Amino acid sequence: MSHTMLPHDRGRDPARRIAIGALALCLLASLVATGCKAPGTHNLPPATQLMHPGPGVDGPGPGVMMIDPGVPMMPPQSSQIAFVGPEGMIVAWDVSMPGAFDSEPLVCPGRYNFPQGAIYRLKLTSIPGRPGVELYPTLEVGPTMPRTDAYLAHNAIPVQVTEEDLDQVMTGNFVTKVIYLPDSEYQELAIAGVETLVSTRLDPGVDPIIEADRRGSIMAIFRLGNKDLQIPGAEGDGGMAMGGFGGGAMPAGFCGPGGGGGPGGGLPASLPGEPIAGVTSPQWGMPISGTPIGLPGPPHIPLGVPAGLQKHVITNHTHYDIPNPTRRIDMHVKQKPGFSYPRPANTVHIEEATVAPPAFFRRPTSDHMQLATPCGPECQ
Amino acid sequence: MLRNPVLKTNVRRWGVANRLGLIVCAVLIAAATWARGEERGVHYQHRADMTPGAIGSWQLLRGGPLPGYPQPIEIRAPENSRISMAVAGGFADPQPTPFKVGLFIAPVYRLRVTGIPYHEGEEVYPTIEVIDRTYPPAGQAWRFPIPIELTLEDLELALDGRFVTRVIYIEDPDFALPGPDDPVHQRWIDAGPGNDPLKLADEIGRPVAIVRMGGRVPIDSAGLSDEQFLFGSPPFVCAPRSVPYEGAIEYVPSVEVESPVPELLSPTATNRP
C-alpha cells in the first residue's frame, strides 16, 4: 500500500515537529547561556562607564550609590624633589624675602620637600663645566591627585638639568620640562616610574604640558630660561612666582611678596588648597549646565565673535528599565526540619481510690485489765 | 514487523537535520558558556594605585570582624638587613628579620629597612597596608602570620627611584599547589605591564595586604612634620617572645621533598600533654 503525504499534512509531521522544537530549544538555551542583551534582560554598564556616565561628565551620576571611602591616613602635603644633576650644581631658593635666595644651598644630587601647589623660583649656580653661569628657573609643584598620591608618598620627583637643556638655554631658548606619572594603561603598574617631557624635544607647536596631561598626571613643571634676576636694575622680583596648579598660588615663606616663613619652613600662607566637591567646586559627578538629559552643552568660548552655535538638541535614546519600588512583598518562610510536638491532651481521666485497711477499734488486749485502786478510808 | 513507508522516509531526512542541528547547538552552547565563563561579573572599586589607606578604610566600612583585629604578619628581608617600625614620630630600634608584628586593618605603617646587602648606608622606607585578615585556629594566630617578603630586587628597584607595589594574597585552595611551599622565600608573580596587581591577586586568591616602596626618604625640613611621612605612626601589637600553643601538632615539612605531592608527613613534635 502506497501512501503519499499531501502539502497540508507536512505541518502535522511528527518528525518535523520534533526537529523544529529541538532547534527552538537550542536557540533559547544559547541565548540564556550567552547572556544576550535581549529585551527583558537586566545588565549594568562596566565600572569604567559608570565612572563616566556621559561626555563631559565625570564621576558617577545621581543614580550610582556613593560610599564614603573614609578618611585616608594623612596623605603627604609636600612633594619631595630630587635634584638629580648635574652633580655638584648648587640649588637655592628664597626663604626670608623675595629675591634673596638665602636658603641652605642644596648640592646636587640632593632632595628637599616642597609644599605642593606652588611655584618656586630657584637659583642654579656652580654648574659643572659652565663657570660663572647662574640660572633662575622656576619649579611648579603640583598638588596631590588620587592617581599620584601613592607614588608621591613613596617616591621623590626627579628633576635633572641635562647638558642639552643648558645648551638650549645658553642659546636663548626656553626649556619646559614636565614631569608626570603615566597612566596605568601606559606603564608597568607594579613597577612604575615617572617620565619627563621636554619642550625642546617635541615638535614645534606641541605644548608639553598638554601632552603630558594627556599621557598621565602632572606632578611638577620645571621652566628654565636665561633671564638674570640679580643684575642691577632688575625688577627685584627674583623670588616672585605667580600662577600655579591651583591658580594664583604664591607660596609665602618661599617666594612671593607675602613671604616671611622660616627656613624651609612653615607651610605657605596662601596655598590654593585642593578643590572640594560641593564646597569650592561643583558637586562631583553632577552636570554644570542643565540639559534635558542632564548633560552639559557644548563649550561656548567667545573669541571676539558671536558664538556660531545657537541651539543644541540632545536626545537620549538609551533604553532604560527602572521599575518602581515594590509596594507589597509576600514572604514565604519554611524551615527544615520543622517543629514536631506531641498533640496536647484534651481528655483527662482521674480516678482516686482509697483502700481502707481493716481497722479494729477494739481495746487492746493488754489494756483489758484495769487495776482497781484500793479504796481508802475516806470512801468507806 | 510493521513498517510505515511515509514515516521511514521523513525520519531519515529529518533525522540527519536533527543531528546536525543538535551538534551545532551543542557547539554554540559550549562556546558561549566558555566565553561567558571567561568574564568575571565583578565591578572592581579598588585599584592598587589608590591613596594609601583608602582601601583599608573601605574594608572597615564593610563591617564584620575586621576592626580592632591585630593581624599578625611576618616581615622577611634579605640577610643581615634590619627592620624598624615607625613609632611616635620616629623609628624604633632595628630588628632582625624575620620580624613578627600585629598590624591593624586600614592604617598605613611605614617601615625602615637598613643593612641592605650591597647597599650599605642606604635605606628604603616601604609601607604596609593590611586590607583583610586571616582566620587562624583559636589561640594560634601568631603561628600563622601573613608573610611579607621584601626581596632584594624590590629594594634595589626602590633605591633606583622606581615605585614597587606588591599585593600579598591568600591562595585560593582550588588553585593551590599540592605541595609544601618554600618556607624561606615567598612566591611572587609579576603583574606585567598595564595590569592591576590588586585585581590580579583577587582573581587568584584573596588580597590581604599591600606593600609599596619607592625612593622617597624623610627629610628634616622645618614646618613639615614627619608625621606626614610616617602616616601618623599608627599603633601596632608586638609579637610575644614565646608563641605558646596547645593542642596542636607541628608538622615540619622536609625541604628535600621534590615530588609535588609530598609523602605523608609524620608529626615530629607535639605539645599535647
The answer, yes or no, to whether residue B37 has pLDDT greater than 70, is: no
Q: Nearest by CB to A189, which of B53, B58, B194?
A: B194
A80/B219 CB distance under 8 A? yes
Chain B neighbors of A13, CB-CB under 8 A: 10, 14
Tell me: the pLDDT tens digits for B157-202? 999 989 999 999 998 888 788 877 777 788 888 888 778 889 889 8
Residue B38: predicted pLDDT: 54
Please tell me which residue, A26 or B119, carries the higher pLDDT value: B119
DSSP character string of A224-271? E----SSSTT--S-TT-----TTSS---TTTSSTT----TT-SPPTT-
CA separation for the pair B167, B197 (Å, rounded): 6
The answer, yes or no, to whether residue B124 has pLDDT greater than 60, is: yes
Confidence bin at A255 (pLDDT 50/70/90): very low
Residue B74: predicted pLDDT: 93
Confidence bin at A177 (pLDDT 50/70/90): very high
DSSP character string of A13-32? -HHHHHHHHHHHHHHHHHHH
The answer, yes or no, to whether residue B127 has pLDDT greater than 90, is: yes
Q: Which residue has the cell 518562610?
A: A333
The answer, yes or no, to whether residue A295 has pLDDT greater than 60, is: no
Classify residue A165 by burial, with Cβ atoms within 10 Å: 0-12, 13-18, 19+: buried
Cis peptide before A86 (omega within 30 of 0): yes
Tell me: the pLDDT tens digits for B232-242? 889 998 888 76
B223/A264 CB distance under 8 A? yes
Classify residue A52 by burial, with Cβ atoms within 10 Å: 0-12, 13-18, 19+: middle
The answer, yes or no, to whether residue B68 has pLDDT greater than 80, is: yes
Q: Nearest by CB to B61, which of A3, A70, A188?
A: A70
B5/A50 CB distance under 8 A? no
Confidence bin at B128 (pLDDT 50/70/90): very high
- Least confident piece of the model among A20-24, A180-184, A341-345: A20-24
Q: Nearest by CB to B228, which of A50, A76, A264?
A: A76
With pLDDT > 90 as the criterion, what percentage of chain A qualifies? Answer: 12
CA separation for the pair A309, A300 (Å, rounded): 8
Q: Work out the mean pLDDT of chain B and round it to a whole number.
A: 78
The whole-angstrom distance between A206's CA and the closest CA on chain B is: 26
| Beta-bridge mates of residue B158 | none
Q: Please, which residues have CB within 8 angstroms of residue B72's CB and are 6 or more apart in sequence?
A: B100, B101, B102, B141, B142, B144, B145, B146, B239
B106/A267 CB distance under 8 A? no
Residue B2: predicted pLDDT: 40
| Beta-bridge mates of residue A140 | A119, A221
Chain A neighbors of B7, CB-CB under 8 A: 14-15
Residue A244: predicted pLDDT: 43
Asked if A91 contacts A124 with a C-beta cutoff of 8 angstroms, the reply is: yes
The whole-angstrom distance between A51's CA and the closest CA on chain B is: 10
Please tell me which residue, B2 or B9, carries the higher pLDDT value: B9
Chain B neighbors of A78, CB-CB under 8 A: 221, 224, 228
Interface test with B, best of A13, A49, A50, A73 (most B CBs within 10 A): A73
Chain A neighbors of B10, CB-CB under 8 A: 5, 13, 15-16
Residue in B129, B100, B96 with CA at minimum distance from that of residue B113: B96
- Least confident piece of the model among A40-49, A127-136, A185-194, B66-75: A40-49
Asked if A219 contacts A194 with a C-beta cutoff of 8 angstroms, the reply is: yes
Tell me: the pLDDT tens digits for A199-228? 888 888 888 898 888 888 899 999 998 888
B219/A112 CB distance under 8 A? yes
The whole-angstrom distance between B71's CA and the closest CA on chain A is: 18
CA separation for the pair A81, A101 (Å, rounded): 17
Confidence bin at A379 (pLDDT 50/70/90): low
Q: Is B50 on the interface with A (CB under 8 A)?
A: yes
Q: Please, which residues have CB within 8 angstroms of residue B252's CB and are 6 or more apart in sequence?
A: B265, B268, B269
Chain B neighbors of A80, CB-CB under 8 A: 216-217, 219
Residue A140: predicted pLDDT: 92
Q: Nearest by CB to B49, which of A184, A262, A265?
A: A184
Please tell me which residue, A286 or A154, carries the higher pLDDT value: A154
Cis peptide before A158 (omega within 30 of 0): no
Positive or negative, the CA dihedral A182, A188, A190, A194 is negative
Residue B23: predicted pLDDT: 82
Residue A334: predicted pLDDT: 92
Please tell me which residue, B122 or A36, carries the higher pLDDT value: B122
A26/B28 CB distance under 8 A? yes
Q: What are the E-state strand segments in chain B? A: 71-76, 82-87, 90-91, 95-96, 99-103, 108-114, 127-130, 146-149, 163-171, 205-213, 237-238, 249-250, 269-270
The answer, yes or no, to whether residue B75 has pLDDT greater than 90, is: yes
Please tell me which residue, B56 or A185, carries the higher pLDDT value: B56
Tell me: the pLDDT tens digits for B97-114? 888 999 999 999 999 999
Report the chain B residue with the minimal C-alpha distance to residue A182: B194
Tell me: the pLDDT tens digits for A82-103? 998 888 999 998 888 788 888 8
Chain A neighbors of B222, CB-CB under 8 A: 262-266
Chain A neighbors of B21, CB-CB under 8 A: 19, 22-23, 26
The answer, yes or no, to whether residue A352 has pLDDT greater than 60, is: yes
The whole-angstrom distance between A75's CA and the closest CA on chain B is: 7
Q: Nearest by CB to B36, which of A34, A190, A264?
A: A34
Task: Indicate the pTM of the whole model.
Answer: 0.59
Please tell me which residue, A288 or A375, carries the higher pLDDT value: A375
